[in-house]
Amino acid sequence: MAQSEQYEVWIWGADQWTLKSSWRDLEVGLAAASAHNGPVRIIRALYEDDAVVEKSVIAELRAPPKDGRETHVTALNVPTSNKLR
């Protein structure tokens, strides 16, 4: 099985996280995230062949306002997360 990873830039807007871009290089992903004015997360996505096997938040810039909802769990499709309220 071939493994690879990429870094995704997720932005907060309209009460949900949305994938903005993805990069093979962390430095490029961080630069792209820094250019956005609102809340941003950098997600490390690990792949085996062409399937995602793991996603994890590795950086968060300018956190979104807390309103009691954790919609990023749905956006990231992480069924095992315990953060969904």
The Cα–Cα gap between 74 and 40 comes to 16
Residue 55 scores a pLDDT above 90 = yes
pLDDT of residue 80: 45
pLDDT of residue 33: 85
pLDDT of residue 21: 92
pLDDT of residue 68: 47
Total-model pTM: 0.69
pLDDT of residue 37: 85
pLDDT of residue 74: 45
